[in-house]
């Protein structure tokens, strides 16, 4: 299968998981685990999993505030009350921790989108709901905005992740707009390729503006207004009426 075809089938969390090259299982991750089919995992595994979750949450705060380059393992360790060696016992290195943070962020979005329409008109209404969801999770928005800008340099460990993520997202939006066009829902002159790139630019730009002035920038309302420019009024009303309620 060609790389582009494979990426089209993957979601963002899948892409992040594929970028864990060099990450090795820490011995403590296997502690207390039972062989397949022999029963439930014992207590130590659950404790380790919870601690790893705390470290990832702390890293989300640090990377979102300072970026990957400036954010340190020391800061992360202080938040969770551990030593740097303790953090590195659970994650091989800072890059492995970054991958875990990015995966956590995308898994949260994936959970929100479960059961939602992700193709055609309903997909755009879903994106508006996603923007509304992000407006109450500042740390997640800040993380994405800081890291996506920082990762524009080729040697950044998240560079490939963001490259593939945008490739996947843009290709999906092209399909969404193509389906809407086939159903007669696009205004004259709207090209699916241009609309897809414009949608990504709008979403990223709104997040940056919202972080600067959340009282004056409404991400969900502005994104909806943008979609109304691209779609016929009838098509957008149909999307609003058929979209599942926000989770």
Give the pair of three-digit tokens for residue 94: 């800072």
> 166, 172 in Cβ contact below 8 A?
no
Phi, psi of 104 (to 5 degrees): -60, -45
pLDDT of residue 24: 27
Q: Which residues contact 226 (CB under 8 A, 6 or more apart)?
A: 198, 199, 202
pLDDT attached to residue 21 = 30
pLDDT (0 to 100) of residue 13: 44
Domain boundaries, the chain: 102-247
Q: Which of 48, 63, 76, 130 is nearest to 102 (CA)?
A: 63
- Angle formed by the axes of helices 192-212 and 219-230, nearest 10°: 160
Token match 């994936």: residue? 110
Provide the pLDDT for residue 5.
38
Whether domain 102-247 has CATH 1.10.357.10: yes
CA distances from 135 to 7, 97, 100, 128 (A): 28, 25, 23, 11
- The confidence score (pLDDT) of residue 207 equals 95
| DSSP-H helix ranges across 25-93 | 27-30, 43-70, 73-80, 84-90
Cα 24 to Cα 92: distance, rounded to the nearest angstrom: 7
Residues in the chain, pLDDT under 50: 1-9, 12-42, 244-247
For residue 26, the model assigns a pLDDT of: 31
pLDDT of residue 199: 97
Q: Cα angle vertex 57, ends 56, 59, to 5°?
A: 65
10 Å Cβ neighbour count for 122? Answer: 20
Residue 192, both tokens? 């699916």
Q: According to the model, what pLDDT value does residue 242 have?
A: 60
Specify the pLDDT at position 222.
97
C-alpha to C-alpha distance for 164 and 158, rounded to whole angstroms: 10
Q: From CA 246, how far away is CA 113, in angstroms rounded? A: 9
């Amino acid at each position: 299968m060609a790389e582009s075809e494979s990426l089209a089938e993957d979601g963002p969390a899948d892409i992040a998981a594929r970028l864990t090259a060099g990450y090795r299982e820490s011995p403590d991750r296997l502690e207390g685990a039972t062989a397949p089919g022999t029963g439930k995992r014992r207590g130590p595994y659950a404790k380790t999993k919870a601690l790893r979750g705390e470290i990832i949450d702390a890293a989300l705060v640090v990377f979102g505030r300072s970026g990957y380059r400036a954010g340190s393992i020391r800061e992360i360790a202080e938040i969770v009350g551990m030593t740097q060696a303790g953090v590195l016992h659970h994650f091989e290195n800072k890059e492995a921790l970054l991958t875990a943070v990015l995966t956590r962020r995308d898994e949260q979005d994936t959970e929100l989108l479960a059961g939602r329409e992700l193709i055609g008109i309903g997909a755009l209404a879903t994106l508006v709901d996603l923007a509304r969801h992000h407006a109450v999770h500042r740390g997640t928005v800040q993380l994405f905005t800081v890291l996506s800008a920082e990762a524009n340099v080729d040697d950044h460990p998240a560079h490939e992740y963001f490259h593939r993520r945008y490739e996947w997202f843009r290709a999906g939006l092209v399909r969404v707009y193509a389906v809407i066009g086939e159903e007669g829902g696009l205004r004259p002159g709207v090209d699916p390729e241009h609309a897809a790139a414009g949608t990504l630019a709008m979403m990223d730009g709104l997040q940056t503006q919202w972080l600067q002035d959340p009282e004056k920038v409404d991400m969900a309302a502005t994104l909806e207004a943008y979609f109304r420019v691209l779609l016929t009024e009838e098509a957008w009303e149909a999307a609003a009426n058929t979209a599942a309620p926000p989770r």
